[in-house]
């Protein structure tokens, strides 16, 4: 069982003291609230991994509090405690969004087993959610998650009147690498590029892999940062190529599409613009190649 930060909500000091001592024994940290109103205030000021809540309390009962908390924090694991033995209390608790229900008086073993089960189930849900939202190879956002996050990002950009920049990045010659060195080497090249993108951009920027060799980055745009970011990206790729001994160079083509909040377009349109600009750059560079038989990956990708 991991270490969690738990809010215990009960107007009975003896119950609070018992549960806090139990959680501390198992390595968890706790705070206590005497009623629902105090509990909501504590949630506003602090972050909790779960809550253990009594049903009968002054000012705001446990069912109402659970409802409020689950509306505010949909994934919060809540365990309800009650001195009532009727099935209606359990049904009300679960209907409000509680994940576990335990009747007083309870044994220490039962309490810990139920809490542990609740938290393990939540961890499992988080792991499955992460798998469904991230690219299996690179651990970047997958196509579906990128489009969801990007759509939300652009809505905020419109309200804040902030310009945004989308970089559509295609890794050159992935097929050549796969054909000549095998798909495992191709995967290593993709991982290297993903690592470079994480190094180049900020955590607040949205980075996704939306195709086999296609990546996108969405970020706030200023007059200064586009050229600076392009330069940093190219420098990071050059640095990688100088350190790695192989018979090809990591190379990219990039299309930069701008989002103007005064003239908004959809994320699909923005991605399409970036895609078209990337292919235009790829075609232009191929036309510049002067030596027959030399692959793009061996040329200077910054030109």
What per-residue confidence (pLDDT) applies to 106?
Answer: 87
Q: What is the DSSP letter of 294?
A: -
Q: Active site residue: 35, 135, 213, 275, which one? A: 213
Query: Which residues, other chains included, contact 113 with Cβ-Cβ below 8 Å and sequence gap of 6+?
Result: none
pLDDT at 284 over 80: yes
5-129 and 143-298 have identical folds = no
| Active-site annotation holds for 172 | no
Question: Bigger pLDDT: 183 or 1?
Answer: 183
Question: Domain locations in the chain?
Answer: 5-129, 143-298
Give Cα 154 to chain centroid, integer Å.
17
Helices (H), the chain: 13-25, 36-45, 62-72, 87-96, 108-133, 143-160, 174-181, 183-200, 225-243, 267-288
What per-residue confidence (pLDDT) applies to 301?
Answer: 41
pLDDT at 294 over 80: no
User: What end-to-end distance do the CA atoms of the chain give, in Å?
Assistant: 53
The Cα-based distances of 84 to 55, 80, 105 in angstroms read 9, 11, 10
CATH number of 143-298: 3.30.70.270
In the block, residue with structure tokens 């003896």? 14
Query: What pTM, to 2 d.p., does this model score?
Result: 0.57
Domain made up of 5-129: CATH architecture: 3-Layer(aba) Sandwich (3.40)
Q: Which two tokens stand for residue 41?
A: 């205030």
Question: Bigger pLDDT: 166 or 134?
Answer: 166
> Do residues 157 and 164 lie in contact, with contact meaning Cβ atoms separated by under 8 Å?
yes
Taking only the tens place, the pLDDT of each residue in 199-254 is: 999 988 999 999 989 999 999 887 667 888 889 999 999 999 999 888 889 999 99
What per-residue confidence (pLDDT) applies to 204?
Answer: 87
Please give the full DSSP string across 41-75, using - where no structure is assigned: HHHHHS--SEEEEES--SSS-HHHHHHHHHHHSTT
Q: What SS3 class is residue 33? A: strand
Share of the chain above pLDDT 90, in %: 54
d(CA 178, CA 186): 5
pLDDT at 175 over 90: yes
β-strand partners of 241: none
Burial 238-271 (b: 16+ CB within 10 A, else e): eebbeeeeeebbbbbbbbbbebeeeeeeebeebb
């Amino acid at each position: 069982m991991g270490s969690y930060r738990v809010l215990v909500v009960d107007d009975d000091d003896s119950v609070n003291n018992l549960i806090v001592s139990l959680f501390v024994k198992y390595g968890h940290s706790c705070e206590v609230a005497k009623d629902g109103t105090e509990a909501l205030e504590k949630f506003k000021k602090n972050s909790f991994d779960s809550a253990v809540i009594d049903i009968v309390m002054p000012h705001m009962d446990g069912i109402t509090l659970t409802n409020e908390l689950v509306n505010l924090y949909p994934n919060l694991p809540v365990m309800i405690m009650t001195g009532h033995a009727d099935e209606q209390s359990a049904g009300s608790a679960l209907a409000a969004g509680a994940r576990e229900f335990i009747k007083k008086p309870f044994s220490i073993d039962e309490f810990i087993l139920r809490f542990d089960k609740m938290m393990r189930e939540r961890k499992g849900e988080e792991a499955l959610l992460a798998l469904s939202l991230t690219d299996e190879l690179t651990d970047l956002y997958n196509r579906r998650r990128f489009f969801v996050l990007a759509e939300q990002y652009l809505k905020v950009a419109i309200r804040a009147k902030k310009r945004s920049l989308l970089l559509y990045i295609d890794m050159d010659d992935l097929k050549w690498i796969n054909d000549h060195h095998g798909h495992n080497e191709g995967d290593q090249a993709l991982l290297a590029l993903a690592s470079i993108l994480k190094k180049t951009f900020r955590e607040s920027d949205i980075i996704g892999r939306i195709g086999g060799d296609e990546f996108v980055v969405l970020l706030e745009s200023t007059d200064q940062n586009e050229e600076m970011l392009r330069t940093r990206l190219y420098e990071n790729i050059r640095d990688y190529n100088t350190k790695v001994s192989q018979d090809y160079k990591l190379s990219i083509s990039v299309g930069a599409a701008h989002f103007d909040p005064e003239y908004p377009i959809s994320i699909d349109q923005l991605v399409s613009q970036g895609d078209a600009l990337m292919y235009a750059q790829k075609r232009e560079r191929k036309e510049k190649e002067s030596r027959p038989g030399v692959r793009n990956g061996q040329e200077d990708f910054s030109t």
